[in-house]
Structure 1
Amino acid sequence: MSEEKFDVIVIGGGLAGLSAAYRLAKAEKEVLVIEKGPHCGSKNVSGGRLYTYALDALMGDEWKGKAPLEREITREMLMLMTDDEAMTIDTSVHAQHGQSYSVLRNHFDRWLADQCEELGAMVIGDSTVTDLIRRDGKVCGVVVGEEELEADLIIDAEGVNPLVAERSGVIAPIKLENIAVAAKYVIRLDEKVIRDRFGLEGDEGAAMLGMGSANKGIFGGLFLYTNKDSISIGLVQDSKTWKEHGEHLPTAIEDLKEHPVIGKYLEGGEVVEYTAHLIPEGGFDSFSEFCGDGILVAGDAAGLCMNRGFTVRGMDYAIMSGIAAAETAISALEEGIFTKDFLKSYESRLQKTVLEDFKTLRKGHGYMAGSNKLFTTYPKMAIDVMHSLYNVDGAPAEPVMTLLRRNLKGINLTGIAKDLLKGVRSL
């Protein structure tokens, strides 16, 4: 057993773990972050959008002008796709100045780790926690290789595949139907090319989410974010339905890059990174435990990620859960109490900043997983209608209602109306 004992050991150097470490170090607690990658951010993958309210909550104004953010998102794009066409709903959001930015985790997480170390936290890379140490039923340390490290409290932020917490029985094993799989490319392009193709100025950025043929008509969708001199683009697919349909994700993302509409944004670019990642998307009803005796679970390890179709959120929830975990840890250290009952205050803190969203939108995941029309019928229907509206071939003009009836012939409008109403209520 190591002679050194920490106040808190954090498993995982992602946004949840580093946010907890930052707050703990700020409170002058002895905290150790153990990251399995060479450095924080080297193995962390996200689509690439961070909502800044979470940074404000974590650091106040200290991040402004310092954090390695890519582009401020000022253009929102929602795309419905068929095999060779697309319809885009395009919105300018200049009025929401500073609300979100694109980020590259290799840069951002490394920077946040540096901030933690400047405050006195210890961050070590290339180290993997393989087990938890228990004494009298309480978690009191971790095993790293042949070394045992003790702490009053452990914060498990090891990510979407929390093997340590699962194997130790702290949380229930994650189910296939609650997991999505994502593949992502980072494609380098000249800054001016990015601005011209997306109609941007300066450091403005664009975010695009899409559904339809991109994901082979299966629950999931594409994401695209503009960085300073690159584009992050990828696919997210529901693991259960993807497996049932026998599709091949690498093939699907290659097809996406060659799509006639998407390809125009990527033309001439150089692939500089390819990654894949699991995403917890089961929502409120998939949550397991958030704490045990001597341990708290945060970020993706706790399942705190949400896909609403038009937005995907995870990084902000990770930061907010890290803050809540740190506040709970500080309270426990001050009282010298680390029982599960005492640590339940962590869930109360999460309720105020994170869990209320998941409770409100608890039916969203089930709706999208069970409505294949979202990814087949509706994109084609929308594009067909737009074709009719803008078609001018010399034939006599027709009222819009006549055009709509022709395009929607044979389609159960009552069923569609019910499905869309269910979606509005769920999402």
Structure 2
Amino acid sequence: MSEDKSQVIIIGGGIAGSAAAYRLAKAGREVLVVEKGETPGAKNMTGGRLYTYALENLMPGEWADAPLEREVTREILMMMTVDDSFAVDSTFGSLSQQSYSVLRSKFDAWLASKAEEVGAMMIPGSTVTGLIIKDGKVSGIKIDDEELEADLVISAEGVNALVAERAGLIKPVNVKDIAVGLKYVYKLSESAINERFNTVSGKGVAMLCAGECNKGISGGAFLYTNKESISIGLVVDTQGWKDSKLPLVEVAEEFKQHQALARYIEGGELIEYSAHLIPEGGYQSLPQLYSDGFIVTGDAAGFVVNRGLTVRGMDYAIMSGIAAAETANEAIEADDYSKNFLKRYEDKLKPLVLKDLETLKNSHDYIAHTHHMFTTYPTLITDIMKNIYEVDGNPTKRITGLVKQSIVGKVHYFDVFKDILKGGKSL
């Protein structure tokens, strides 16, 4: 690597940054990754779940040693009230693409090491404080008083993309486009997890919850089984949380004590606690993805989709890292780092990442602003099922009568119809 200038500098050693670094180094390019954490992954957090098609795209046939936790073979969707819960438990044995639970501290460190193995240089424990801009082009980074020059800079800063924001290359994140994730990891033996979730080693469960778990705040709760731990937590809409004036930690503590969930973590040792901002503004809130000498990837670009039943971000981070690396490689070949040339990055994102964000562009608005989504509907569904199962010695009612009994006085039928129709178009 030249002592005076790198071909590419990447800000952030998370999934997007390390994916870009791996691809660039594999192609023989000079790439430097500057990571704020003491080690890659030390400060990163996710629910979390990774769809492995992205890994296959990044390193075809070469990710067998990735520190993935359990393959997700069961999907549980749970509706919760104060005292009750109703869950739909689905098992799929024939999905064409795999997904696994992951722990970011392990996975990010592994991915960064893969990038280093093929020639990328990592500088951990260093905070980028600014960009070098010459004649309107990004020409490097600043770490306090030190300047490091590069032909191209890739931002993989995460949702708080302060370097790009302070340089005026992207707009500040709007509070309405952000969610807050709160996560706990409980250590349990592999055998205990297998027994509690009726599964076997290597196979696991993804659970999403709605209703009482969020105290009416837009969002939901999650649970993922790892090899020898359970990840459990909440995601709440930031504006909804602000309006509720509820202490989020207290909401989370009550959620963990709910009888439907407490049994899964009973006796477990709390080994990790973290919180994280999540970009959920979607397609309408995307920043400028490229400028002269500059590309934005992953969470910094807002590449996250929440459609209620699934939340995706890590796979998009990898795919955007690949697209950034391919664009950087072409720019180096052409010796052209202009905004006009770097538009190729957006073109490479269109077939999957941008297409998905556009398809689900109304999902965040629907989830965050559907009045009954996280209050009335979970209660209705739970009550309906409770009434169906209850036998109290009175004459039996048809299901239509039980549904009517549960709905009357709580929500207008027309509102239900509108929400169903809107949800079908948005999700």
For residue 288 of structure 1, report the CA deviation from its aligned partner.
Answer: 1.3
Indicate whether 1:26 and 2:26 are aligned: yes
For residue 196 of structure 1, report the CA deviation from its aligned partner.
Answer: 1.1
Indicate whether 1:266 and 2:278 are aligned: no
C-alpha separation in 2, matches of 1:356 and 1:77: 27
For residue 402 of structure 1, report the CA deviation from its aligned partner.
Answer: 2.0
Describe the SS at the equivalent of 2:22: helix
For residue 97 of structure 1, report the CA deviation from its aligned partner.
Answer: 6.3
Structure 2 residues not aligned, in runs of 5+: none
Cα contact 1:218–1:372 (8 A) shared by 2: no
Counterpart amino acid of residue 91 in structure 1? S
C-alpha separation in 2, matches of 1:405 and 1:302: 45
Describe the SS at the equivalent of 2:165: helix
Deviations 1:110-152 (A, max 9, x none): 0111111110100110000000001111101000122111110
Counterpart amino acid of residue 332 in structure 1? A
Which structure 2 residues correspond to residues 100-111 of structure 1 after superposition, within 5 A?
A: 100-111=99-110
Cα contact 2:190–2:201 (8 A) shared by 1: no
Counterpart amino acid of residue 355 in structure 1? L
Cα contact 1:156–1:165 (8 A) shared by 2: yes
| Residues 92-101 or 166-175, more deviating | 92-101
C-alpha separation in 1, matches of 2:243 and 2:216: 13
Deviations 1:56-95 (A, max 9, x none): 100001002x000000000001111112221111100121
Cα contact 1:13–1:41 (8 A) shared by 2: yes
For residue 98 of structure 1, report the CA deviation from its aligned partner.
Answer: 5.5
Deviations 1:35-70 (A, max 9, x none): 000110101111110000000100001002x00000
Which structure 2 residues correspond to residues 221-300 of structure 1 after superposition, within 5 A?
A: 221-300=220-299
Q: Which residue of 2 aligns with 1:123?
A: 122
TM-score normalized by structure 1?
0.98
| Residues 325-334 or 93-102, more deviating | 93-102
Counterpart amino acid of residue 305 in structure 1? V
Which structure 2 residues correspond to residues 110-149 of structure 1 after superposition, within 5 A?
A: 110-149=109-148
Describe the SS at the equivalent of 2:20: helix
Moved segments of 4+, more than 4 Å: none
Cα contact 1:49–1:103 (8 A) shared by 2: yes
C-alpha separation in 2, matches of 1:397 and 1:354: 51
Deviations 1:157-177 (A, max 9, x none): 000000000000111111000
Indicate whether 1:68 and 2:61 are aligned: no
Cα contact 2:33–2:122 (8 A) shared by 1: yes
| Residues 410-419 or 163-172, more deviating | 410-419
Cα contact 1:217–1:372 (8 A) shared by 2: no
Q: Which residue of 2 aligns with 1:426?
A: 426
Counterpart amino acid of residue 118 in structure 1? E
C-alpha separation in 1, matches of 2:12 and 2:287: 19
Q: Which residue of 1 aligns with 2:376?
A: 377
Counterpart amino acid of residue 307 in structure 2? R
For residue 4 of structure 1, report the CA deviation from its aligned partner.
Answer: 2.6
For residue 3 of structure 1, report the CA deviation from its aligned partner.
Answer: 4.1
Deviations 1:286-322 (A, max 9, x none): 1110011000000000011111111010000000000
Counterpart amino acid of residue 303 in structure 1? G
Cα contact 1:45–1:276 (8 A) shared by 2: yes
TM-score normalized by structure 2?
0.98
C-alpha separation in 1, matches of 2:285 and 2:147: 32
Cα contact 1:9–1:32 (8 A) shared by 2: yes
Q: CA RMSD in A?
A: 1.1
Q: Which residue of 1 aligns with 2:45?
A: 45
Deviations 1:343-373 (A, max 9, x none): 0110111111200001011111111111131
Which structure 2 residues correspond to residues 292-331 of structure 1 after superposition, within 5 A?
A: 292-331=291-330
Q: Which residue of 2 aligns with 1:57?
A: 57
C-alpha separation in 2, matches of 1:48 and 1:93: 19
Counterpart amino acid of residue 418 in structure 2? K
Structure 1 residues not aligned, in runs of 5+: none
For residue 340 of structure 1, report the CA deviation from its aligned partner.
Answer: 0.7
Describe the SS at the equivalent of 1:373: coil
Cα contact 1:132–1:142 (8 A) shared by 2: yes
C-alpha separation in 2, matches of 1:158 and 1:187: 28
For residue 395 of structure 1, report the CA deviation from its aligned partner.
Answer: 2.0
C-alpha separation in 2, matches of 1:11 and 1:281: 22
Deviations 1:396-422 (A, max 9, x none): 222222222222222311211111111
For residue 209 of structure 1, report the CA deviation from its aligned partner.
Answer: 0.9
